Amino acid sequence: MTQSAFQHIVCDPDLCTGCRICEYVCSATKNGAMDANLSRIRVVRIEPVTMIAISCRMCADAPCVVACPREALKQNPDTGVIEMDANKCDGCGWCVEACEFGAIVLNPASKKAEMCDLCGKEEDGPQCVKFCPKEALSLATPEVLRQKARREVVKRLFDELLAP
């Protein structure tokens, strides 16, 4: 699989209500606690009222991997998931600073970096996607997102051209 084909969690801001269930499901799945601070997905508010969930984008040439001075982060070439070696991570936070999406957190208990791994150990995939009550979360590749954006632009143009 090429890096441009890596799936990541996508949030539709038109469907997201900001309920934060994704954060609680993530923290329960990954840390056994209903604590949004331990979540690997974050719901953020974009003024005035847009809500959107942010998680790891499985970036090509991931800046977090490049920034890690201890080489604790590696990108799985098959899935794009960033894997962290807990024996090497010292919680310096360089990866947090390098992430353009704010998708990496330092676990307050372990002092280690954590990011979405698409619930790789769960048979039915990312639990945030599974339990989102508004179906605002899905898995998609960057190419699928670009195609969707192009279709929306074309539809808008046709609607404007055909408007009375």
Q: What is the pLDDT along the chain (164 residues), one digit of tens a residue?
A: 444 579 999 999 999 999 999 999 999 999 999 999 999 999 999 877 789 999 999 998 999 999 999 999 999 999 999 999 999 999 999 999 999 999 999 999 999 999 999 999 999 999 999 999 999 999 998 888 888 888 888 888 888 888 87
Give the structural domain span for 100.
Answer: 3-162
Q: How many Cβ atoms from other residues are within 10 Å of residue 46's Cβ?
A: 9
Which pLDDT score is estimated for 161?
Answer: 85
Q: What is the pTM for the complete model shown?
A: 0.84
Burial bucket for residue 159 (CB in 10 Å: 0-12, 13-18, 19+): exposed
Q: Are 132 and 72 a contacting pair, CB within 8 Å?
A: no
Q: Domain containing 127 — which CATH number?
A: 3.30.70.20
How many domains, in total, are found in the chain? 1
